[in-house]
Structure 1
Amino acid sequence: MSEPTSPDHDDVPGAPGVEPAPSGPAHHDSSAEEVFRTSLRTVLWLLGALLVVGVGVGWLVAGAPGVWGALIGVGLALVFSGTTIVAMLRTAHSSAQTMAAVVMGTWLAKVLVVIVVLAVLRDQDFYSRGVLAVVLLAGVLGSAYLDYRAVSRARIPYVDPASSGTTTPDS
Structure 2
Amino acid sequence: MTDPSPRTETAVEAAWTRVWKSLLIRGIVLVLVVAALGMGLGWLISGTTGLVGGAVGGGLAAVFIIITLVIMYFGRNLGLTTVAGLLGVGFLFKAFIFMIVIWRIKDAAWLDGTVAFLTIVVAVLGTSIVEAITVVKGRVPYVDPEAE
Tell me how many residue pairs correspond in the alignment: 139
The separation in 1 between residues aligned to 2:86 and 2:55, in whole angstroms, is 28
The separation in 2 between residues aligned to 1:151 and 1:127, in whole angstroms, is 35
Q: 1:118 to 1:45 in 2, by over 3 A?
A: same
TM-score scaled by length of structure 2 = 0.73
Correspondences of 1:80-159 after superposition (within 5 Å): 80-94=64-78, 110-159=94-143
User: Unmatched 5+ residue regions in structure 1?
Assistant: 1-24, 164-171
2:46 counterpart residue number: 62
Counterpart residue type for residue 130 of structure 1: T
Amino-acid identity (%): 26
Q: 1:104 to 1:152 in 2, by over 3 A?
A: closer
Local SS of the residue matching 1:142: helix
For the 8 Å contact 1:80–1:114, the answer to whether it is kept is no
Name the larger-Rg structure: 1
Where relative contact order (Cα < 8 A, 6+ residues apart) is larger, the structure is 2
Correspondences of 1:11-90 after superposition (within 5 Å): 26-90=10-74
Q: 1:141 to 1:107 in 2, by over 3 A?
A: closer
For the 8 Å contact 1:37–1:89, the answer to whether it is kept is no
Larger helix share, 1 or 2: 2
- Per-residue deviation at 1:95? 7.4
User: Unmatched 5+ residue regions in structure 2?
Assistant: 1-8
